[in-house]
Structure 1
Amino acid sequence: MTTTYTNPVWPEVFADPFVLRHEGVYYAYGTGPGGADGRQVPVLRSTDMVNWESLGHALVPAAGMDADQGYHFWAPEVAAHEGRFYMYYSSGNAREGTDQKLRVAVAEHPAGPFVDTGKILVPDQPFSIDAHPFRDQEGQWWLFYCVDFLELSHDERTGTGIVVDRLLDMTTLAGEARTVVRPHQDWHVFRKGRTMYGNVYDWHTVEGASVLYHDGHYYCFYSGGAWEKENYGVSYVVAKHAEGPYRRPEGGHEALLMRTPSSGELLGPGHNSFTVSPSGSETWIVYHAWDPGQTARRMCIDRVDWVDGKPVTPGPTWTAQQAPT
């Protein structure tokens, strides 16, 4: 039995990690290089969250969407519903200048193969990424995802933010997206003087939604800042209902849950998911972080506890820690 672990828990590139626990087995999906067989989305398996094995790649792209033709595949998340598994991800062709679009693929097993349905989930948006399917306490499924905002509003900044929409079924949105959180702090800056949509903006970003229900409230965690820089970190907003409205807790002038440690051992921790320990008694955050040389974003885990009604974690950690129980 593994009693300790040290981050990262997987040695290879594995950004934007999402972990699904199904029948006592953990499956991790991430952003990373495709396979020699043309499949995308690396998938791992574990029984303890510490020791992982590769299962190859899970996603069969839609016809004509080959990686060698310039297509990117980002930030997969998987929902289990009525015996089937639904992978939400974004894809776009960088060579043709096509922005990312949210898509969904379906499988009969969590390891795949996931076959693309041919549907674009948000066709009216030029840019949509980071889909997060979430089932609320009443059994309703929602999809949290990111779009771009170009208009200033109150203290909200121009840039990428998070919205939520109701799923009519697992592949169809209601088309009633509501804003969850937009960038609103200095640490959310992605790049100043960025050329976007035919103009130049001081671009800010909040992305990578992941929702936890705790003590009668929905906590939407997000990653803010620039994914390739030290300012990237994890914070959250809170609501009484999954669709909002969400409020900002005090202290949001910096990332409330996780940020780059002053020692610089890990950089830019973020784009997380959550799961429970094998016993089901502990909540764990799964995230990526850069090594100091920024050679790759790798998967890390740390325990999350609640203190005085607030989520806390020792992470990001890089020394031996007690393993999930």
Structure 2
Amino acid sequence: MPQQRPLWDGYCADPFVIRAQDGRFVMYGTSPERPGGRAFQTLVSDDLDVWCPAGGALVIPADAPAGTEWWAPEVAYAGGRYWMYYSQGMGDQGHQIRVASSVEPTGPFTEAGPPLTEDLPFAIDPSPFQDVDGTWWLFYATDLVEGARPGTVIAVQRLRTMTELAGEPRIILRASADWQLYARDRQLYGAQHDWHTLEGPAVVRHGDRYWLLYSGGNWQTPRYGVAAASAASVEGQWTEDAAIGPFITSQSTGLIGPGHCSIVSAVGGGHHLFLHAWDAQRQRRRPHRLTLQITGGPPRVAP
């Protein structure tokens, strides 16, 4: 299958798209570059097809140590402001979820308090979700060494306010299959593990069911992919058919290492699915759009 055309030719990984209050669509993504001296690439569009760069989103704190990285921004609108959730850390160590806010969808976003996950050793890929009753939840990925397949798992917590989590994290999904292997004999937490990874959660409600899309495996390789789980409520019990495995793969889409989705409801029904994939030289992760189809069974995608 030929590789599909990216929405933008620059580096924009972990693409998250929101329909702003002014009607425009705004995309936020992880980038090694710092447009305008800010973290996170932003792109804007009127039609979801043509995207134009709009600079960086997050004001980098003056006290951020050299080598700090900012990953996977997602944005929610509440109380007349835009709230950006993201992780900050160095490499694969010490990442914590933080929140920033702005009155404009393209920023500048400025930090709005201390890290939300200070009690966890590692937390990334926050994804805010508002339930039908108005309650906000935060899905994210964190590490769990215990069990048969140690690795990065998916958790959820309620947002008491847009800058504060309530209660304890609830682990809702952990590795269950070989395709989710990140690396063998990975040195972490004082030991070597066959490390598995679930990350990049994105949740949508369809009918009376909640669907969670997540990425699994090693993001640096073509075998990275996206699978789905479902539940009757946000807190679960979330279940998946392990025999099905990932439904978005390099083989099924023609994209190289597709993953880290976000979902936008389409006018008239249906859903747009945004994700990243490598270019042919595997130097840039660029954003792509697919059509997400949810009917009576598991989700499917079309170009």
Q: TM-score, normalised by structure 1?
A: 0.88
In 1, distance between residues paired with 2:35 and 2:260?
26
CA gap of 1:305–1:63, structure 2 versus 1, over 3 A, is: same
Contact kept? 1:265, 1:292, Cα under 8 Å: no
Q: Which amino acid in the other structure matches residue 84 of structure 2?
A: M
Partner of 1:282: 270
CA drift at 1:266:
2.0
Q: Which amino acid in the other structure matches residue 245 of structure 1?
A: Q
In 2, distance between residues paired with 1:172 and 1:280?
35
CA gap of 1:237–1:98, structure 2 versus 1, over 3 A, is: closer
Contact kept? 1:266, 1:292, Cα under 8 Å: no
In 1, distance between residues paired with 2:125 and 2:293?
25
In 2, distance between residues paired with 1:295 and 1:250?
31
Q: Which amino acid in the other structure matches residue 45 of structure 1?
A: V
1:259 maps onto 2:249 in alignment? yes
* Aligned with 2:15 (options 11, 14, 17): 17
Matches within 5 A, 1:293-304: 293-304=281-292
Contact kept? 2:224, 2:249, Cα under 8 Å: yes
Alpha-carbon displacement from aligned partner over 1:132-167 (angstroms, at most 9, x marks no partner): 000011111000011101011xxx510000100000
Aligned length: 299
CA drift at 1:296:
1.1
Q: Where has structure 1 moved over 6 Å in runs of 4 or more?
A: none
Contact kept? 1:26, 1:45, Cα under 8 Å: yes
Partner of 1:142: 137
* Aligned with 1:272 (options 230, 245, 261): 261
1:181 maps onto 2:176 in alignment? no
Matches within 5 A, 1:108-147: 108-147=103-142
CA drift at 1:36:
5.6
Partner of 1:322: none
Alpha-carbon displacement from aligned partner over 1:63-117 (angstroms, at most 9, x marks no partner): 3116xx10000000000002101000001134xx851111000100111110012
In 2, distance between residues paired with 1:215 and 1:57?
36
Q: Which amino acid in the other structure matches residue 306 of structure 1?
A: I
Partner of 1:196: 188
Matches within 5 A, 1:1-325: 7-23=5-21, 24-35=23-34, 37-65=36-64, 69-94=66-91, 98-152=93-147, 156-249=148-241, 251-252=243-244, 254-255=245-246, 257-261=247-251, 265-277=254-266, 279-315=267-303
Q: Which amino acid in the other structure matches residue 233 of structure 1?
A: G
In 1, distance between residues paired with 2:17 and 2:226?
17
CA drift at 1:179:
1.0
Contact kept? 1:7, 1:301, Cα under 8 Å: no
Q: Which amino acid in the other structure matches residue 258 of structure 1?
A: I
CA drift at 1:35:
2.5
| Stretch deviating more after TM superposition (6-15 or 221-230) | 6-15
| Stretch deviating more after TM superposition (76-85 or 117-126) | 117-126
Q: TM-score, normalised by structure 2?
A: 0.94
Alpha-carbon displacement from aligned partner over 1:181-204 (angstroms, at most 9, x marks no partner): 111110000000110011000000
Between the two proteins, what is the percent identity of the paired residues?
40
RMSD over aligned CA atoms reads: 1.7
